[in-house]
Chain A
Amino acid sequence: MARARGELASPRRGRASTAGGLALAVLPVGFLTLFFAWPVVAIIRLGFSEGGVDTALFESQTWRLAAFTVAQAAASTAVAVLAGLPVAYLLARVKLRGVGVVRTLVLVPFVLPTVVVGLAFKALWPGGGVFTIVLANAFFNVAVVARTVGGLWAHLDRRAEDAARALGASRGRAFTSVTLPALLPAIASAAAVVFLFCATSFGVVLMLGGSRLRTLETEIYLRTVNLLDLSGAAALSLVQLAAVVAALLVGAGARRRKETAARLRARTETARRPEGGEWWVVAAAAGVLGLLLTPIVALLVRSVSTREGWSLDGYRALAGQGADGTLNVSGWDAAVNSLRTATDATMLALIIGILAAVVLVSLRRSPQRGARVTGEVMDAAMMLPLGVSAVTIGFGYLVTLGQLPGDLRTSPLLVPFAQALVIVPLIIRMVLPVLRSIDERLRQAAATLGASPARVWREVDLPLAARSLAAAAAFGYVVALGEFGATSFLARPDAPTLPVAIGSLVSRPGELNNQMAYAACALLMLVTMLVAAVVDRLRAANAQVGEF
């Protein structure tokens, strides 16, 4: 495919578009360098300057931690993918009442603060251990799989599958030989993201692992924050980075081998009422939803049960600032802060993510091998923020950002920036499979007819990708709404987001604070669902515009 393209395009145009692509790359690469690479390198260098990194690197404990980290992340990823695929099918292919509600509902786990989910899982499975860590990690990430894979699946042309069936293939055979290969890039994308989230999940492991099960992430946190053992933390960060890069390379390899240009269709043409064996998949999806709802329902029940029986006190308290003024603002104000911060972060991340995705696709289409390799490297680099310890990045900010004008270390701008760092990789992973699947012949036809690269992008790529973009924006927004780790350390006390407020409430004694924390969780879920529903509705409304 690539070689054929190279022959078609004139060499001059190839170089020009590569140069244009590099210009577009300035913003994403600059953002990543400033807010990710520089702080991380600085804090690791500080660790090296203290010495002893090599000793820490070769302790047997380090390798045990690395092995456990990778193993639990791999297991969690497998569970999330297995659970996510039937849901993705449901979202993409099934025309039944209530699918829209499901689409909104699966996003809820993603926004819940880890401390609250940790408490819910401990209540449901008091034994704890590896099993609950894997389940909790998967719980958070089913949405990533369902949304990323579902996004592509909804647009796959159903006729290839039907043709296989007409030629005598069984339903299963048609799926494995026609549909699955087309979905693989999206599955690999989702798996990579989920793996990174699980490999660096912190609160879940800390709470459910007791004191015995530890990962690189929790150990980096401990050594940085509690022991100020920067050389030990630097050594562990390097190991974590190595593991993450290895995982990304494996993922990139899988994507490269399997990627094919698929014919994309509108969802309205591909969704239909399930028939025959398809009902089993729908049942499986329903089962997954039931499991996802269990901790959520447990939280809702918790929000209305007190020592004296059922009560709505927690919900009433949302109008106030908690018992004894735990918060500086009311629960509602915190919700508004959340919406505002998430808007900023999503806009920032969309700009950076779309630019990066466009650059990545054009590099990949480039006839020059060097450009394609650059594209691969940049693709992996854009994912790294998900794989590096938040505490490494946070402490890195302290030692680097002070050197920039306007002391960003204490600026309210830092919250959206940090959230954007988390969202950008998600947006890229959601938009890229669709952009890459766009049939090159469409673009070539447009170019042959005299369209400039920008016009090709506007007339061909944008309409085809519009819905994935909207989906990515919604997902990014939801992630920003729920982001807790970075936000909790960066948000100012007079402007806490809802997850931060929940964190403060749950860490205070007193029944009212606790009730209010759980009520605030319910509010967070509600806000999430409303936002997701509104975006989905908007997406459906402008479907005609971007129809294909």
Chain B
Amino acid sequence: MRSLRAVAALTLAGTLTAGCTLFSAGDQEESGPVTVTIATHESWSVPQQVLDAFRDQTGIRINVHKEGDAGELTNKLVLTKDDPIADVAFGVDSTFASRALAEGVFEPYTSPEGDRGPQRYSIDPQNRLSAVDVGDVCVNIDTEWFAERELAEPTSLDDLTDSRYRDLLVVENAATSSPGLAFLLGTIASYGEDGWQDYWSKLKDNGVLVVSGWTEAYTQEFSGSSGQGDRPIVVSYASSPAAELGDDGQPRTKALLDTCYRQVEYAGVLAGGSQTSEAGKVVDFLLSQQFQSTVAENMFVYPARAGVALPAHWERVAPQPEEPATLPGERVESGREEWIKQWRALVEN
């Protein structure tokens, strides 16, 4: 039995040492504040000072959990709705919101901050979701590329099927990428449920390149980013040009504002969470002027709240599209899987 004792000692020693580094990892578990857990997507990015200021004001410490992209986040919330992994969720977008609502993931919460803007994107009469930010998926172009070749810049979705722009467009896979899906939905909104397949056939004939995700499309295939790929037209965000400024402060790329599809991102209080009232305060915080003024610079999206100033250069280089395409949430929910299936059959063969 000496071997057992040795094993026990070994196990204990190992656990203790492992514990040491874990505890020293700084859980910052102060005794005072209440901790509210927020489940969000991987694009979450908020300056620590803003979270610290909120904690100092309210005594609520926000514990953040990233759970993949908007789709993955939504699916995880659905899977854990009987025993939620967090108190608040932020990042369920208009593409997936109806699934979350249909599954009863969120409970009603009307934020006092809501009437100052966010509810202009309301999708739910019961106010289970409050709009936090707006992202527009638009076709981006490398303006220098077109200038050098003295080729007129494309301006619309129709232009992309023009033979002058053959082999110039790179898009993300609608089945594996969230901007890819948004772009597909944009074409469905623009050409209708009878016309979109025809449009995609033309894109395919015109040499569209489909890659698995945004990183690959934008940082590798697109000529306007630092990767300096071969293709001057890419599906990205209306805000992307703000990150592509040259030394002269002029953007090297441009979003085509007539090609955009709007994704609204929502936050809500999770049903069955343990700290409902504090959770509501966290939703208030996400809608507050203080938080809203950080979303542009940190998450590359537009604030949902009316009257929040964008960073100075955004107005010039990354203005918000005024009339982006949208589809009703229920329509997306009922059509999404079939559309993706049809889309895959169309472009993957």
Contact = CB atoms under 8 A, between A and B. Distances in A.
Interface of A: 20, 23-24, 27, 46, 115, 118-119, 122-123, 206-207, 209-212, 218, 222, 224-229, 306-308, 323-328, 337, 340, 343-344, 347-348, 350-351, 355, 395, 398-399, 402-403, 407, 409-410, 412-413, 416, 452-455, 457-458, 488-489, 491-495, 504, 506-511, 513-515
25 contacts: A20-B1, A23-B4, A24-B7, A119-B216, A122-B216, A207-B211, A210-B212, A212-B348, A226-B71, A228-B75, A229-B337, A307-B228, A327-B45, A337-B25, A340-B22, A347-B14, A351-B14, A412-B22, A495-B25, A510-B226, A510-B244, A511-B225, A513-B243, A514-B219, A514-B226
Contacts of B107: none
Interface string B65-88: 111110110011011100101100
Contact of B212 (A27, A206, A398, A457): A206
A495 B175 CA distance: 30
Interface string B98-119: 0100000000000000000000
Nearest to B1: A20
Given A209-B212, A395-B79, A495-B25, 14 more contacts: A27-B7, A122-B220, A206-B212, A210-B212, A211-B212, A212-B348, A307-B226, A325-B47, A325-B297, A351-B10, A351-B14, A398-B80, A457-B3, A493-B66
A458 B10 CA distance: 13
A20 B228 CA distance: 62
Contact of B216 (A118, A307, A413): A118
Nearest to B82: A402
A454 B215 CA distance: 54
Interface residues of B, number: 73
Contact of B17 (A218, A306, A347, A399): A347
Interface of B: 1-4, 6-7, 10-11, 14, 17-18, 21-22, 24-25, 27, 37, 42-45, 47-48, 63-69, 71-72, 75-76, 78-80, 83, 85-86, 99, 173, 175-176, 210-216, 218-220, 225-228, 236-237, 240, 243-244, 247, 297-298, 300, 337, 340, 344, 347-349
Given A351-B14, A399-B80, A410-B65, A227 B337 contact: yes
A452 B79 contact: no
Contacts of B215: 115, 119, 506-507
A23 to B, nearest CB: 6
Nearest to A416: B18
Contact of B64 (A218, A413, A493, A510): A493
B175 A226 contact: yes
Nearest to B99: A228
Contacts of B21: 340, 343-344
Contacts of B25: 337, 340, 412, 495
